[in-house]
Amino acid sequence: MYGYNQPQMQDFDHQGSSQLQMPQANKPQQANILISPPPAQSSYEDQVNYYQQEACRLYIANVVLTNQVKELLQEKNDLLQKYQKLEKRQLDTQQSLAEEKKKRHRRAAHEIERHYKCPQETCQKSYGSEGSLAQHIKLKHPDFFQIISANISQTLQAMRVDQPLDSKAEYTDYDEEDESDTSSKGKQKQKDSKEK
């Protein structure tokens, strides 16, 4: 009548519902989207009106489902952010615990083996590390520290320019003391290990 083909009734089954049914598992969460056929004895105008109503109903159902999907996506993103915050807190806690365990244990004074002796004849101090000895010399023997610093700078300049050192004799005394200390300690350790 209006140039439209009349809808074919063969697309619908005999129970009165279309083939566009949704799976049964998702049925509780969804709106009723079943398409039922128009009355069998209706005119073309009634059928057009019926399908327009069905199209409107399906459009509204589509909008409702789209909004539900958006809400679920927002909830998912919120949960993801909360989960990431929890992971970050847990990682920070683990790192802080690891740092607490890494704190240096300071040895008591009687536990320190003092292998580094002050090179000044009048000073009888000895230290457990080279850094401690250097600090002692810098603070307690500033004149001697300046001499050593000057010698070190000369040594470094000589190494850069490949010039021979002028005052090797100044270092040999300290080297001999260090060698005698280490050799006597090495012999003592050997004796101790043999006795055990």
How many angstroms separate the CA atoms of 38 and 12, rounded? 10
Domain with 150, as residue range(s), is 115-166
Torsion 174-178-181-184 (CA) sign: negative
* pLDDT of amino acid 12: 41
Considering the domain boundaries, does residue 129 fall inside one?
yes
Q: What is the pLDDT along the chain (196 residues), one digit of tens a residue?
A: 344 444 444 444 444 444 444 444 444 445 555 666 666 677 888 888 888 999 999 999 999 999 999 999 999 999 999 999 999 999 999 988 888 777 667 778 888 888 888 888 888 888 888 888 889 888 988 888 888 888 887 777 777 766 555 545 555 555 555 555 555 555 555 555 555 4
Q: Are residues 65 and 133 part of one domain?
A: no
Number of domains in the chain: 2
Residues 38 and 73 in one domain: yes
Last residue of a domain, one of 70, 101, 132: 101
Q: Same structural domain for residues 86 and 38?
A: yes
Domain identity same for 131 and 90: no
Helix or strand (DSSP H, E) at 116 = strand 116-117
pLDDT number for residue 144? 83
- Output the CA–CA distances (angstroms, integers) from residue 88 to 42, 96, 98, 101, 102, in the order listed: 66, 12, 15, 20, 21
- pLDDT at 73 (0 to 100): 97
